[in-house]
Amino acid sequence: MADSTNAQAKPDDAFWRAADTFIGSANEQATTVDRTVVSAGFLYASARFNSFVIASQCGNKEAFEAEKAAAIDYFVSQYKLALTENIADYQANFDKYINNNA
């Protein structure tokens, strides 16, 4: 999981392009599907893709078994950090973000 840790430590242009693309897709879907459904689907898709990343980096079932708990801890902590940062941003900019986009 070292590669993922390094990628998260210093987001680069590719990171921001990927994030913006995913958010754009979610926003587009939210025009015709309830936001909570889009959110749940987005969360599931992230978990599914991250499971694939973990398994493919491990290379075999035994390594996957040995790494899965640490990988889960890593992804949960990264999600909590990102969610905490974004909630703080929305708290600081609530009127700007919500009242203009409701």
Q: Over the stretch 76-100, which tens digit does the pLDDT of each residue have?
A: 999 999 999 999 999 999 999 998 6
Is 11 within 8 Å of 20 (Cβ atoms)? no
Residue 6 has pLDDT above 50, yes or no: no
The whole-angstrom separation of Cα 51 and Cα 64 is 10
Residue 58 has pLDDT above 50, yes or no: yes
The number of C-alpha atoms within 13 Å of 65 and in the hemisphere containing its C-beta is 3
Residue 5 has pLDDT above 80, yes or no: no
Q: Which CATH number characterizes residue 64's domain?
A: 1.10.287.3020
Residues spanned by the domain of 90: 2-99
The predicted structure's pLDDT at residue 4: 46
Number of structural domains, the chain? 1
The whole-angstrom separation of Cα 98 and Cα 77 is 27
